[in-house]
């Protein structure tokens, strides 16, 4: 079954105390019980936030993982470590990781393997930069991100993944994709997955929209047939805004 998901990517924001405070506000809040809320705090705070949210249905995840299993990789965090602190999710291939850290589809596919081996749910990000959309190349580009990042997986494995479509031109810019643009790409992504794994599998995978999603536009975006929720950056840093988004289905 596709799940309704609101995922908050806190990126490199918040001190420890502010992060704990925000997590506690979300734990104390009420939102649609059918919605899966997932928080992606800075890695340093994950263990504490797993504790704070342990009595709630809120899930906790990492913003990145190493493609390696273990060893001499200074500064890196392995999938096994993520599992060992009780986190259940991890973002893979966020556009900021692709742009600033040169992460490409092949490496990302290895990160996904590590996560699945450790029973962590990957949220695999795809999306085009503005130039690619203006050239009319956005569908091809997203298709290759999906194929190269995910298509080595079995049906069972891909069913353990979540996909996030994040048009890079909409991330942190205040410019949102229209609901028509979002639906068009989400339906395309589901179609690409269906070509390889069949309609039944494709219909069960949650595809999230990311890119300046906020309390004002979430309702319209989430009303689209193939939009199963959102990966939210800026608006997830304020409890009231994030809760309002969670109540937008």
Q: Which residues contact 177 (CB under 8 A, 6 or more apart)?
A: 167, 170, 185, 209, 211, 221
Q: Which residues contact 195 (CB under 8 A, 6 or more apart)?
A: none
Q: Which residues are catalytic?
A: 94, 166
| Measured distance CA(7)–CA(157) in Å, rounded | 21
User: Residues 151-190: x/- map of binding to ligand PEP (CB under 6 A)?
Assistant: ---------------x----xx------------------
Please list every residue from 127 through 156 that binds ligand PEP, using CB under 6 A.
none
Smaller CB separation from ligand PEP, 69 or 220: 220
Encoded tokens for 121: 């749910």
| Measured distance CA(23)–CA(50) in Å, rounded | 10
- Taking the complex as a whole, how short is the minimal distance between the CB of residue 150 and ligand PEP, in angstroms? 18
Smaller CB separation from ligand PEP, 197 or 237: 237
Smaller CB separation from ligand PEP, 4 or 98: 98
| Measured distance CA(121)–CA(128) in Å, rounded | 23
Task: Confirm or reject binding of residue 229 to ligand PEP (CB under 6 A).
Answer: no
State which H helix or E strand residue 116 sits in.
helix 105-117
- Taking the complex as a whole, how short is the minimal distance between the CB of residue 133 and ligand PEP, in angstroms? 16
* Binding residues vs ligand PEP (CB under 6 A): 9, 166, 171-172, 210-213, 231-235
């Amino acid at each position: 079954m596709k799940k309704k998901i609101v995922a908050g990517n806190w990126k490199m924001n918040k001190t420890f105390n502010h992060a704990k405070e925000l997590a506690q506000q979300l734990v104390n809040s009420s939102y649609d019980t059918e919605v899966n809320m997932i928080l992606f705090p800075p890695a340093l705070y994950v263990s504490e936030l797993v504790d704070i949210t342990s009595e709630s249905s809120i899930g906790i995840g990492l913003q990145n993982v190493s493609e390696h299993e273990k060893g001499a990789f200074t500064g890196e965090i392995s999938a096994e470590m993520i599992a060992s602190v009780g986190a259940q999710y991890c973002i893979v291939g966020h556009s900021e990781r692709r742009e600033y850290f040169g992460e490409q589809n092949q490496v990302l596919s290895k990160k996904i393997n590590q996560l699945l081996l450790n029973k962590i749910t990957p949220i695999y990000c795809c999306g085009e930069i503005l130039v690619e959309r203006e050239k009319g190349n956005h569908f091809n580009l997203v298709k290759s991100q999906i194929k190269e990042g995910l298509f080595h997986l079995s049906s069972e494995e891909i069913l353990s993944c979540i996909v996030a479509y994040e048009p890079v031109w909409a991330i942190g810019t205040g410019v949102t994709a229209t609901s028509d643009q979002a639906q068009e790409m989400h339906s395309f992504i589901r179609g690409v997955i269906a070509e390889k794994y069949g309609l039944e599998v494709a219909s069960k995978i949650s595809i999230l929209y990311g890119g300046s999603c906020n309390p004002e536009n979430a309702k319209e975006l989430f009303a689209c047939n193939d939009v199963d929720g959102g990966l939210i950056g800026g608006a997830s840093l304020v409890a009231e805004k994030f809760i309002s988004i969670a109540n937008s289905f």
